[in-house]
């Protein structure tokens, strides 16, 4: 039964990683850039929701919606100001700019909201459901997290597969020049991808802070790196890959904490990543592209 408990909390943590990893993987798939500022968008989402709920007394649903809207806007603005001028620049320059944006967001948060950790009260309360005479306990947060992940994933899969914008995204990720020739507005599509990714980051931020209720300007960094790892784990650029990578990473992390060692859990997670990449160099669900000369 303890095994099942660990499995459920692993899946719950993994769901959060998966939602964050989606943002990384979508942006990477289209803009071919590692958006290191993504983790800090999570933190901004957490703070917006926190203030909406506890300063202005809005209901949780409104808080989440506001956080998602704010982060979507933030994603668009950052993309327009910092990344768009660098479309033709070498990828390392874009990477460093993303790091600059990450520092910028963290330090703005530090000035606006100070470094004192805020206790983020859960958006769905702290209720717990007990099953099998209380041997298996599942908190409401866990259920909401897992459900959100399923919903986000199905909506996004439908969106990318069926809608016009989704098709444009897939076209851009295959070949930008060819997409442009077919009449796809590549710049608008990239902006839309950033917007969607950042909106998802806000939702992930709220879920993360509900499950682990300390909110600081650096809250997003480590989950950001872990989710990035998850995206690579599943095969960066692939949406089902982000889900699989996120879930596996969450489960491995919780099991490593439970059965191996709390302090070494991060090392175990990264070691598994290395082993997976050695066996499948493009991640679990990634496509190994043949190089043509």
Partner 1 sequence: MKRLINLKRSEYRLMWGTYAAVTLAFLVLQAMIATRSLSASMRGMLVPICAYMVMAVSLNLVVGVLGELSLGHAGFMSVGAFCGVACAIILQKAVPAAPVRLALSMGAGAAAAGLAGFLIGIPVLRLRGDYLAIVTLAFGEIIKSVFNNFYLGMDKAGLHFSMLSDTTGLLKGGRMIINGPMGIGGIRKIATFGAGFALVMIALAVVFNLVHSRYGRAFMAIRDDRIAAESVGIDATKYKMIAFVVSAALAGAAGCLFALNYSTIVANKFDFNTSILVLVFVVLGGQGNIPGSLIAAAALTVLPEKLRSFADYRMLLYAVLLIAIMLGKNSAGARNFFARFRGGKEE
- Nearer to partner 1 by Cβ, of 161 and 267: the residue is 267
**Beta-carbon count within 10 A of 237 CB:** 23
Report d(CA 61, CA 45) in Å as an integer.
13
Cα 63 to the center of its chain, rounded Å: 19
CB of 47 to partner 1, least distance (A): 16
Q: Of 272, 292, 268, nearest to 284 (Cα)?
A: 272
Selected from 3, 56, 103, 158, the binder of partner 1 by CB under 8 A is 103
Q: In this structure, are residues 220 and 204 in contact, taking their beta carbons and an 8 Å threshold?
A: no
Q: In this structure, are residues 220 and 39 in contact, taking their beta carbons and an 8 Å threshold?
A: yes
Report d(CA 150, CA 127) in Å as an integer.
21
Q: Does 62 bind partner 1 (CB under 8 A)?
A: no
Using CB under 8 A, count the residues that bind partner 1.
44
Q: Does 165 bind partner 1 (CB under 8 A)?
A: no
Q: Does 283 bind partner 1 (CB under 8 A)?
A: yes
Q: Does 77 bind partner 1 (CB under 8 A)?
A: no
Q: Does 107 bind partner 1 (CB under 8 A)?
A: yes
User: CA 199, 202, 204: angle at the middle one, nearest 5?
Assistant: 115
Q: Does 97 bind partner 1 (CB under 8 A)?
A: yes
Selected from 1, 69, 77, 99, the binder of partner 1 by CB under 8 A is 99
Selected from 3, 77, 80, 100, the binder of partner 1 by CB under 8 A is 100
Of residues 25-54, those binding partner 1 (CB under 8 A): 28, 34, 36
CB of 217 to partner 1, least distance (A): 11
Report d(CA 191, CA 78) in Å as an integer.
10
Q: Does 82 bind partner 1 (CB under 8 A)?
A: yes
Q: Of 64, 84, 52, 24, nearest to 220 (Cα)?
A: 24
The DSSP code for 175 is -
Q: Does 274 bind partner 1 (CB under 8 A)?
A: yes
Q: Does 1 bind partner 1 (CB under 8 A)?
A: no
**Beta-carbon count within 10 A of 218 CB:** 14
Residues making contact with partner 1 (CB under 8 A): 28, 34, 36, 82, 85-86, 88-90, 92-93, 95-97, 99-101, 103-104, 107-108, 110-111, 225, 228-229, 232, 236, 261, 263-264, 266-267, 270-271, 273-274, 277-278, 281-283, 291, 293
């Amino acid at each position: 039964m303890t095994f099942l408990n660990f499995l459920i909390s692993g899946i719950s943590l993994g769901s959060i990683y998966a939602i964050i990893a989606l943002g990384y993987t979508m942006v990477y798939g289209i803009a071919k850039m590692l958006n290191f500022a993504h983790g800090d968008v999570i933190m901004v989402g957490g703070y917006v929701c926190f203030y909406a709920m506890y300063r202005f007394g809005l209901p949780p649903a409104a808080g989440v919606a506001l956080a998602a809207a704010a982060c979507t806007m933030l994603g668009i603005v950052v993309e327009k100001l910092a990344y768009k001028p660098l479309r033709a620049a070498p990828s390392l320059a874009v990477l460093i700019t993303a790091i600059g944006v990450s520092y910028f967001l963290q330090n703005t948060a530090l000035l606006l909201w100070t470094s004192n950790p805020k206790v983020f009260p859960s958006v769905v309360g702290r209720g717990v459901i007990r099953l099998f005479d209380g041997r298996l306990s599942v908190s409401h947060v866990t259920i909401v997290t897992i459900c959100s992940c399923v919903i986000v994933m199905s909506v996004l899969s439908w969106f990318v597969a069926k809608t016009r914008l989704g098709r444009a995204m897939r076209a851009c990720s295959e070949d930008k020049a060819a997409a442009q020739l077919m009449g796809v507005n590549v710049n608008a599509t990239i902006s839309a991808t950033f917007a969607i990714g950042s909106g998802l980051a806000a939702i992930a931020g709220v879920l993360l802070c509900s499950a682990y209720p300390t909110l600081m300007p650096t809250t997003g960094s480590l989950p950001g790196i872990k989710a990035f790892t998850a995206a690579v784990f599943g095969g960066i650029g692939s949406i089902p890959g982000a889900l699989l990578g996120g879930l596996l990473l969450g489960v491995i992390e919780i099991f490593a904490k439970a059965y191996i060692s709390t302090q070494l859990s991060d090392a175990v997670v990264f070691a598994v990543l290395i082993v997976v990449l050695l066996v499948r160099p493009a991640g679990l669900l990634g496509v190994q592209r043949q190089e043509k000369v």
